[in-house]
Structure 1
Amino acid sequence: MEARRPRSRSRSAAIRAALRDLRVQLALLNHQVGYRLSLKDAELDCLDVLARDGAMSPSALARLAGIHPATLTGILDRLERGGWIVRDRAQTDRRSVTIRIVKERSADVYRMYRGMNSAIDTICADYSDEELDLIASFLQRCGDAGVTATEKLAVG
């Protein structure tokens, strides 16, 4: 069992390096998408959270996007002016707000990612369903580890 540890550490290091490279490339892609759509990175992040999770309160969006609530107000103002989101106010309590994405505008974002999404589809075609399930599970677990590490840093 001891003999496997160095090899395992080496593979783990290679995976961490690949994930770092992927993070950089995705950040560059996101930056280009934001530039072409006149969106800042945080604005693009908010749109992504809304597209993924649906309409939500500003406080939920701030938490999921990792943005301070005071900062989120300015972001929401810019997104609303740009026609990217709508703030729906409750009839009974006008202070209660739900943020939702404007579907027609989100198509603009999806078009920008078409090349990357097609490339991922091509890559996935080389793997079996079982392998893809394993890869998806691995990436989900890595994402969960990131959430845990972020929470620990935020507390400490």
Structure 2
Amino acid sequence: MRDYGWELSTAVVLFHEAIARRLGLNAAEHKALGLIARSGPIPTGALAPELGVGITAVTGIVDRLERAGYVRREPDPTDRRRVLLVANQAAVPDLGGIFADLGREMYAFMSRYDEREMAAIVDYIENTIRVLKAQTTRLTEQS
């Protein structure tokens, strides 16, 4: 039997690596930039668990994003001990076209499924995300 989990995982990673390369980043930096851009100002320490890496790795990722002009560090106005990461929206390229193409292609084949089948697919995806996050946390804590 084919190893669909491995194939899906590899396809997703390679897709995000291709996007990251377009931005002059690696996949971890691309994911960090996406989190910062979507979350608004975010404390530096909040990135580590979201990315599944240690705080030392986050510092390097943020340093590279800052040097590339994608983010800046700002003092937290409510807690001077914290630093917030803010996306430089003018520097972050619009990836809407890439994701629009992906969305169109995904919608084209997903529209073939009925409501019951979609519920099973959604259940699978939600549980896959849950398991992957738990395993990432477990692996990160063992480091």
Q: Which has the higher strand share?
A: 2
Where structure 1 has 5 or more consecutive residues not aligned to the other structure, the ranges are 1-12
1:79 corresponding residue in structure 2: 65
In 1, distance between residues paired with 2:119 and 2:37? 23
User: Would you say the 8 A contact 2:52–2:140 is kept in 1?
Assistant: no
Higher relative CO (Cα under 8 Å, sequence separation at least 6) belongs to 2
In the alignment, does 2:54 pair up with 1:68?
Answer: yes
Alignment size in residue pairs: 142
In 1, distance between residues paired with 2:44 and 2:10? 28
Please give the residue correspondences for 1:17-28 in structure 2 after superposition, counting only pairs within 5 Å: 17-28=3-14
Please give the residue correspondences for 1:83-122 in structure 2 after superposition, counting only pairs within 5 Å: 83-91=69-77, 93-122=79-108
Same amino acid, percent of matched pairs? 25
Q: Which has the higher helix share?
A: 1
2:121 pairs, out of 131, 135, 138, with 135
In the alignment, does 2:31 pair up with 1:45?
Answer: yes
User: Would you say the 8 A contact 2:72–2:88 is kept in 1?
Assistant: yes
Where structure 2 has 5 or more consecutive residues not aligned to the other structure, the ranges are none
Q: After the TM superposition, list the runs of 4 or more consecutive aligned residues in structure 1 that deviate by more than 4 angstroms.
A: 51-54, 104-107
State the TM-score, normalizing by the size of structure 2. 0.79
State the TM-score, normalizing by the size of structure 1. 0.74
